[in-house]
Chains A and B, each alone.
Chain A
Amino acid sequence: MKKKSSFFKILSINIVWLWLGIFALIPITLTFVTSFLTQDPNAIVKFALTLSNYWELFNHAYVSILIQSITLAGTCTVICLIIGYPFAFTIARSKSKHSSLLLLLVVIPFWTSSLIRTYAIMAILKAKGILNAMLLAMGLIDQPLQILYSYLAVLIGCVYDLLPFMILPLYANIEKFNEEYLEAAQDLGANWLTTFIKVVIPLTMPGIIAGSVLVFLPAMTMFYIPVLLGGAKNLLVGNLVEYQFLTANNWPLGTAISVVISLLMGAMIAVYWYNSKEKDREELA
């Protein structure tokens, strides 16, 4: 009996290792190695080691794309937090039978491909779309708003797509929040603002950080949303990588960009990890 169970234990652990090896370690290694190779117009790469791909990243154009991406991802994260926090708080504080229904409503969009949902947003935002038709009918505007193919449209798309990633970890965290803390703060004479800043935010910080990381990281590398909603005017890091691979046929540069983004994100997670307490880490793990 004991032998059998340890056999299955070893087998299942090895399957996980094998899986990670094939689908994570090997691709990451290939990406890493490729980033040090040279571009070849006739083949995928030329096997000549070089650091020039990384040097090229200091090019002003690339740096500004990176900054633009970080700005967009940051703005998107902040907006998601501002919308998601009250949202998660309301769900977590509502009666249990309602909260599971509300949570389901948050999750439902995941059942549809994010690409299709982005097209749906296009249908809403476009010049003759639903939003403009409504605003015109209500007499709030005289002529259609040009929202589609703008920075605003990209931002709307990112927020819409990533909001659940903010709400779910926040909900998980706020749900555990003991309501007696609120009463204790009130009892000690704190008004709601003091209570919120001094008690609620610090105690739900693990959820805020987990949600922010989960929104910020994908927002950095979303490539189809800027293409579809921004009309490719707003080139972001994700688009740059896509362009290097598919259009410019410069795989080494594309992989070099990927490596840099991965390192940046890894550094952010590491900073959070070392500043967080043991028990808060579950939120991310």
Chain B
Amino acid sequence: MNKNIIELFGVSKKFENYQALQETTISIKHGEFITLLGPSGCGKTTLLRLISGFDKPDTGKIFIDGRDVTDLPPEKRHLNMVFQSYALFPHMTVYDNVAFGLRCKKVSETEIQKRVTNVLRMVKLEALHDRKPSQLSGGQQQRVAIARAVVNEPIVLLLDEPLSALDYNLRKSMQLELKQLQRRLGITFIFVTHDQEEALSMSDRVAIMNEGYIEQLGTPKDVYEEPASLYVADFIGEANIFTTEILETYDNKLVIEIEGKRIALNNKKDFEVKQKVHIIMRPEDITVWGENEITPEESKNMLPGTVEQVIYKGSTVDLIVRLPSEKKILAAEFFNEDDEKLDYHTTEKVWIDWIPGWEVILPYEEKI
């Protein structure tokens, strides 16, 4: 688990005049489920294709299992890819598709039969082995594509947005299946997606990419709770962002002003006075109080607001609250035993606060 299976040093790629990947250095551990996450054009697929060998990097070195593979073609890299469109050979049966890689490696037919049957059993497609891809549903085709790759026993499996063609429910169940498969095989999965929920729920680590850079690499919890940049905070989940200036600092505290209220927060990153910062709060960390729930004393440390919109979501109620400065924030309230009354209505006056210390403070960035 601790051994690095893939190492990239200063790898970059340019297509014509477009820098698809800036110089990137990343290590991927053996047996890890790592996700490359970002919007289209962020360089995640480029990074995957450089690892797979379909594209050659302009600079840098790529090591797989300690071996320099920078100049090796894909077929010599001991890894396999699941393509976005699956790329199943339409003229071959499921069995022949899965056996293709083994036949190319001149494995004996008896061995092929054993391994193909095993892997088809694993993805629950034994019964459909003589069907053509066109006779299968999307989810079944997806499983054939995975079977065709893993039957070669790669040390790393690359998956290029493999679930994006499936509908919501099927995608959910395939996410679970993929995760289980990865645990069972014990091999490294490098998974590319633009769906942040998918990334968070499946990965051991997530690399969030933007404009050819890896903005942050960390566990799903890290990137969600401790985003390293405004971009990450905004891309992963919903975020309320206040931009302000530090008024004073003392004993690991810093004081800022939001909506005319002076608020003291923990100074975890040694911010200095006069420095401009962004305060980021997740909707679920914000608590909304009705006017009669709060005493005037308590309201000193809270922000006043007006409910602008109530969005009922089943397990939560999302509120859009307008602050006196016209800034709108999103708060997600959970139904729980302490607070059964969640029937907010629009134009209702409320007070908001948040759990101290759960906010994230980032240095000021020009783009927002």
User: Which residues does A use to contact B, with CB under 8 Å?
Assistant: 178, 180-181, 183-191, 194, 198-199, 202-203
A180 and B104 contact, CB distance less than 8 A: no
Closest Cβ of chain A to B308, distance in Å, is 47
Which applies to chain A's interface (DSSP): helix, strand, loop or mixed?
A: helix
Chain B residues near A181: list those with CB within 8 A: 87, 89
> Which residue from A180, A189, A199 sits with its C-beta under 8 Å from B101?
A189
B81 and A187 contact, CB distance less than 8 A: yes
Closest Cβ of chain A to B96, distance in Å, is 9
The contact size tier of chain B is 20 to 34
> Which residue from B83, B91, B104 sits with its C-beta under 8 Å from A189?
B104
Given the contacts A194-B104, A203-B90, A186 and B73 also touching, CB distance less than 8 Å: yes
A184 and B83 contact, CB distance less than 8 A: yes
Within 8 A of A (CB), among B71-98: 73-75, 80-81, 83, 85, 87-91
Within 8 A of A (CB), among B27-80: 52, 54, 73-75, 80
Closest Cβ of chain A to B131, distance in Å, is 15
A184 and B87 contact, CB distance less than 8 A: yes
Complex Cα gap A202–B80 (Å): 23
Chain B residues near A187: list those with CB within 8 A: 52, 54, 74-75, 80-81, 149
- B105 within 8 A of partner (CB): yes
Chain B residues near A184: list those with CB within 8 A: 81, 83, 87-89
B87 and A178 contact, CB distance less than 8 A: yes
Given the contacts A183-B54, A194-B104, A189 and B87 also touching, CB distance less than 8 Å: no
Q: Which 9 A-B pairs have the closest CB atoms?
A: A188-B101, A184-B87, A180-B87, A189-B104, A189-B75, A202-B91, A190-B104, A187-B81, A188-B100
A203 and B91 contact, CB distance less than 8 A: yes
Complex Cα gap A194–B75 (Å): 13
User: Which residues does B use to contact A, with CB under 8 Å?
Assistant: 52, 54, 73-75, 80-81, 83, 85, 87-91, 100-101, 104-105, 148-149, 152
Residue from B88, B90, B100 whose CB has the most chain A CB atoms within 10 Å: B100
A189 and B85 contact, CB distance less than 8 A: no
A180 and B85 contact, CB distance less than 8 A: yes
B89 and A199 contact, CB distance less than 8 A: yes
A selection of 11 A-B contacts at a CB cut-off of 8 Å is A184-B81, A184-B88, A185-B89, A186-B74, A188-B148, A189-B75, A189-B101, A190-B75, A190-B100, A203-B89, A203-B91
Chain B residues near A202: list those with CB within 8 A: 91
Chain B residues near A194: list those with CB within 8 A: 104
Complex Cα gap A178–B88 (Å): 11
Residue of B nearest to A195 (CB): B104
B89 and A189 contact, CB distance less than 8 A: no
Residue of B nearest to A188 (CB): B101
A185 and B100 contact, CB distance less than 8 A: yes
Residue from B85, B88, B104, B148 whose CB has the most chain A CB atoms within 10 Å: B104
A186 and B89 contact, CB distance less than 8 A: no
> Which residue from B75, B80, B83, B100 sits with its C-beta under 8 Å from A180?
B83
A188 and B80 contact, CB distance less than 8 A: yes
Complex Cα gap A178–B90 (Å): 11
